Structure 1
């Protein structure tokens, strides 16, 4: 099933996430992930790992974090963007 493929994809990343569970809804192309991540970085890597899979349009994140840290900022590159423009938009 798709949920098992997504689960294996996360496990291949060697992330520190206990009680990891993945559900997939094929009618909405939504993956739901839950568990307990050691760090914010592990949580984000797991979300990205399954969010970049064909047929996954949305990821519902129910992962708890042991070591609190600020979330990363995502930026969607647009036509005409340059590295300096992105840096200006993100960092001012």
Structure 2
């Protein structure tokens, strides 16, 4: 089962109040990023978001998970029924931002010492959810792509 954990008390705020977001609001947030996720259905079970359907590639799968998971009120994203093409998705590498982190530090930690300049790959892999490499926050979950 593909269940991903997120920090419930941080992320994009949807709607009014601090409760768990509604499935329709999560779907609108997901669609707003134009990730190629029109074939994805979103439902909720309390503070867990459930994604079902198909995406074209691994990148769209991972971005769908983090776009929904980095929403205020969501603590888990279940994606066991979210398929890539005609098959199952590979396990993504995700990183939860800690206080004091920046993309350079994350790149060095994930790719090895001396690879801080590879932060641009992490930034690009998290677009359009990230609009600026300096605007990350503790608790945010980022995709870590393999080095190219």
Task: Report the TM-score range of the alignment, normalised by the length of the smaller protein.
Answer: 0.7 to 0.9
- For 1:17-37, what per-residue CA distance to the aligned partner results, in whole angstroms no more than 9, with x for missing partners? 3532111122xx111011100
C-alpha distance in structure 2 between counterparts of 1:12 and 1:80, whole Å = 29
Deviation at 1:16, TM superposition (A): 1.8
Q: Count the aligned residue pairs.
A: 90
> Which of 27, 33, 46 is the equivalent residue of 1:13?
33
The answer to whether structure 1 residue 37 and structure 2 residue 37 are counterparts is no
> Which of 81, 85, 98 is the equivalent residue of 1:66?
85
Aligned 8 A contact 1:18 1:35 in 2? no
Aligned 8 A contact 1:40 1:67 in 2? no
> Which of 46, 52, 70 is the equivalent residue of 2:64?
46
Deviation at 1:83, TM superposition (A): 5.9
C-alpha distance in structure 2 between counterparts of 1:38 and 1:58, whole Å = 23
Deviation at 1:88, TM superposition (A): 4.2
Higher helix residue share: 1
| Structure 2 length-normalised TM | 0.50
Higher strand residue share: 1
Cα RMSD after superposing both structures: 2.7
**Ranges of 4+ aligned residues in structure 1 off by more than 6 Å:** none
